[in-house]
Chain A
Amino acid sequence: MTEFDALGHARDAVERRAAQRGWRPGMRESALFDRDAIHEIQRAAREGIYDIRGFGAKRQVPHFDDLLFLGASMSRYPLEGYRERCDTDVALGTRQASKPIELAIPITIAGMSFGALSAPAKEALGRGASATGTSTTTGDGGMTPEEREHSKLLVYQLLPSRYGMNPDDLRRADAIEIVVGQGAKPGGGGVLLGQKVSDRVADMRDLPTGIDQRSACRHPDWTGPDDLEIKIHELREITDWEKPIFVKVGATRPYFDVALAVKSGADVVVLDGMQGGTAATQEVFIEHVGIPTLAAIPPAVEALQDLGMHREVQLVVSGGIRSGADVAKALALGADAASIGVAAIVAIGDNSPELEDGYAELGTSAGFYDDWHEGRDPAGISTQDDALAARFDPHLGGRRLANYLRTMVLEAQTIARACGKSHVLNLEPEDLVALTVEAAAMARVPLAGTGWVPGAAAPSGPQPPATTG
């Protein structure tokens, strides 16, 4: 045991005793140096390295919770639930691909690598998505045969690392997603710590087993949108112009990034907000780089509209999607589909209370577990340990994911019908109001009960009367 370990144990014991004693009046916690901030300073002083973890941003930022739908009223009528149709199908890649993807539901499964996830976990994602008519996405580590087999629609990512990239899998894919960035870490590469680089993972990535595997943050053979246009052209040539080409960006400068992706020839733009998950990234990156999903959608949609490409180039939004309400709000702001990562992992069994004993052994608790990079997941999802992975049932996981996706679709339809829409894509910003000034400014919808859209240029013509509370 090192000196630092001994200090760590001593500190844990003190904390345990403090928790047993509980709070007493006079024990005032600093809002600035709260227990998390103090804990992090002590951890950094002990370990001398930044904290790496999985999951997405945990801080509170303006989000879909800050929006409400208005629903139908005197001036518009709703649709009957269960009886009147409210369609949910979406086609991705209609701009240039000869074989666009036809989704039955407007929710896709985001890119998560074999390596980050176990083989049975990837299988469960494929089973759940295929059962509901939607797509899954590979990740930084290539395409596994199991994944291809269990996913009716599979999006193949082209990442800076190009681990496992090959033309056969490109042709086997249903779409190609060029990853420029992701919401959890715009501007960052990847990391897969040695304990998860098993023989199979190492072989797929052409690396030695057990080393800390770093993925580059920039693509090796193109820089900037002019090159990207040529790169997209090459991928189209290699795949004979069949596959939709997605470009995924982390939310930072969405107006320009989306415009440049369109200019580069993308069929679909995937926009991942800062709440988007990751298997392993520095906490400082997750919490402090990128902008919230809510703030990113309106500028992205504006860019598409300015180019006359809204609905021609589809916009897929991810980062903090948890429910059918979140999906409906993303669509109402102008997205064509939403994508889930963390939520899908939770749906198949991550952070399940049934595994509390396993989480306790890791010093955490169900609902808080985020050390996905360590490969010790008691659920057998974020691991490459065969014994742990064997605990996970891909059939049950797939079933749970299908249930969850269907629930979200029903929720989105419920809202869309209430707003009088016969297709979820008919939801529009006009259906929304915001609960906070911040959300109103970001989403560019009025603060509830007012006509006020903070930051919007004052209209020059006659103004609609502001509703008074």
Chain B
Amino acid sequence: MSRSGGGLEAEEVDLARTPLRELNAELHALGDDDRRRWRVLNPRGAHAVAAGIDAPVEVEIDGHAGYYCAGMNKRATVRVRGNSGVGLAENIMSGTVIVEGNASQSAGATGHGGLVLIRGNASARCGISMKGVDIVVQGSVGHLSAFMAQKGRLVVCGDAGEALGDSIYEARLYVRGEVESLGADCVEKEMRDEHLAELRDLLQRAEVEDCSPEDFRRYGSARRLYNYEIDDAGTY
């Protein structure tokens, strides 16, 4: 592991030379006052890069990341300068995870808090079972995004694939482009002032400048499946 001095310079870890286990162990050992900036070189699609951090640090991954990058993140800011594999920031609790390229399936899956920002597109099941996380996708999302989404907000600046928000609970979905189809119990809802305000805030936090909140439509739960009725059986 190469040390590149103190000050504001980042600690550099080259995964071509340093085992992933060593990187993650160091990141897990960080306290609140330890070195704030880390840079990971040559990730080469490695899985679970920067997974399980619980410290207010910044980690920059210089290349493509594999599955579960920044999984279960707490407090850290993790930036991927490339694409990311399945389960980006899965079960994120807090902090921010940014992918400058595209993200594969299940980005932000089951996330409880924090912000996941994808500059490119996200594949299928983006925000599946989300539980409070905010997800902003500057491009489009694939099918079954926000499946069983419980809480939090999903913002899609492009289009959404089939069955958006299937079996959704209380999460709020904002889509600017076309929605190929809505899933069971997901309906378009009125965009009220409070929604425009929260959307404006999310777009600002995500530093998305070329979209206006007024261009989006809001989707959420019709709450018809909350208590089972036999006459709704065909809806499933």
Interface positions of A (Cβ within 8 A of B): 47-49, 161-163, 165-168, 170, 194, 205-208, 210-212, 214, 216, 220-222, 227, 230-231, 233-234, 237-241
Which residue of B67, B110, B129, B147 is within 8 Å of A234 (Cβ)?
Answer: B67
Q: In the complex, are the beta carbons of A234 and B228 less than 8 A apart?
A: no
A-B contact pairs, 22 of them (CB 8 A): A161-B129, A162-B91, A162-B110, A162-B131, A167-B91, A194-B226, A206-B112, A206-B150, A207-B150, A211-B169, A220-B109, A221-B109, A221-B128, A230-B68, A234-B90, A237-B20, A237-B24, A237-B51, A238-B48, A238-B71, A240-B24, A240-B28
Contacts of A165 in B (CB 8 A): 91, 110, 112
CA distance A73 to B36 in the complex (A): 71
Q: Does B8 contact A (CB under 8 A)?
A: no
Number of A-B residue pairs with CB-CB distance less than 8 Å in the complex they form: 108
CA distance A211 to B227 in the complex (A): 6
Contacts of A231 in B (CB 8 A): 67-68, 87
Q: Does B197 contact A (CB under 8 A)?
A: no
Which residue of A48, A49, A212 is within 8 Å of B227 (Cβ)?
Answer: A212
Interface positions of B (Cβ within 8 A of A): 20-21, 24-25, 28, 47-48, 51-52, 54, 66-68, 71-72, 74, 86-87, 90-91, 93, 105-106, 109-110, 112, 125, 128-129, 131-132, 147-148, 150-151, 167, 169-170, 225-228, 230
Residue on B with the closest CB to A215? B148
CA distance A221 to B28 in the complex (A): 23
Contacts of A47 in B (CB 8 A): 230
Expressed in whole angstroms, the minimum distance between the Cβ of B57 and any Cβ of chain A is: 15
Q: In the complex, are the beta carbons of A167 and B52 less than 8 A apart?
A: yes
Q: In the complex, are the beta carbons of B71 and A234 less than 8 A apart?
A: yes
Expressed in whole angstroms, the minimum distance between the Cβ of B51 and any Cβ of chain A is: 5
Contact residues of B: prevailing secondary structure: loop
Expressed in whole angstroms, the minimum distance between the Cβ of A163 and any Cβ of chain B is: 8
Q: In the complex, are the beta carbons of A221 and B228 less than 8 A apart?
A: no
Q: In the complex, are the beta carbons of B112 and A166 less than 8 A apart?
A: yes
Ranked nearest first, the 4 interchain pairs of A and B with the lowest CB-CB distance are A238-B52, A221-B87, A162-B110, A211-B226
Contacts of A233 in B (CB 8 A): 47-48
Expressed in whole angstroms, the minimum distance between the Cβ of B144 and any Cβ of chain A is: 10
Q: In the complex, are the beta carbons of B72 and A238 less than 8 A apart?
A: yes
Q: In the complex, are the beta carbons of A220 and B67 less than 8 A apart?
A: no
Contacts of B148 in A (CB 8 A): 214, 216
Which residue of B24, B86, B226 is within 8 Å of A221 (Cβ)?
Answer: B86
Q: In the complex, are the beta carbons of A221 and B106 less than 8 A apart?
A: yes
Q: In the complex, are the beta carbons of B86 and A49 less than 8 A apart?
A: no
Looking at B20, B147, B226, the one whose CB has the most chain A CB atoms below 10 A away is B226
Q: In the complex, are the beta carbons of A212 and B226 less than 8 A apart?
A: yes
Q: In the complex, are the beta carbons of A162 and B47 less than 8 A apart?
A: no
CA distance A210 to B223 in the complex (A): 12
Expressed in whole angstroms, the minimum distance between the Cβ of B12 and any Cβ of chain A is: 20
Which residue of A49, A206, A212, A222 is within 8 Å of B87 (Cβ)?
Answer: A222
Residue on B with the closest CB to A241? B21
Contacts of A49 in B (CB 8 A): 228, 230
Expressed in whole angstroms, the minimum distance between the Cβ of A391 and any Cβ of chain B is: 27
Contacts of A238 in B (CB 8 A): 48, 51-52, 71-72
Which residue of B47, B128, B230 is within 8 Å of A230 (Cβ)?
Answer: B47
CA distance A231 to B228 in the complex (A): 33
CA distance A1 to B40 in the complex (A): 68
Expressed in whole angstroms, the minimum distance between the Cβ of B154 and any Cβ of chain A is: 14
Expressed in whole angstroms, the minimum distance between the Cβ of B175 and any Cβ of chain A is: 20
Contacts of B125 in A (CB 8 A): 220
Q: In the complex, are the beta carbons of A227 and B167 less than 8 A apart?
A: no
CA distance A241 to B51 in the complex (A): 13
CA distance A206 to B68 in the complex (A): 22
Q: In the complex, are the beta carbons of A222 and B150 less than 8 A apart?
A: no
Contacts of B230 in A (CB 8 A): 47-49
Report if A167-B93 is in contact (Cβ < 8 Å); known contacts: A220-B129, A237-B52. Answer: yes
Q: In the complex, are the beta carbons of B227 and A216 less than 8 A apart?
A: no
Looking at B51, B68, B71, B227, the one whose CB has the most chain A CB atoms below 10 A away is B68
Q: In the complex, are the beta carbons of A237 and B48 less than 8 A apart?
A: yes
Report if A194-B93 is in contact (Cβ < 8 Å); known contacts: A166-B72, A167-B54, A237-B48. Answer: no
CA distance A207 to B227 in the complex (A): 13
Contacts of B150 in A (CB 8 A): 205-207
Contacts of A214 in B (CB 8 A): 148, 167
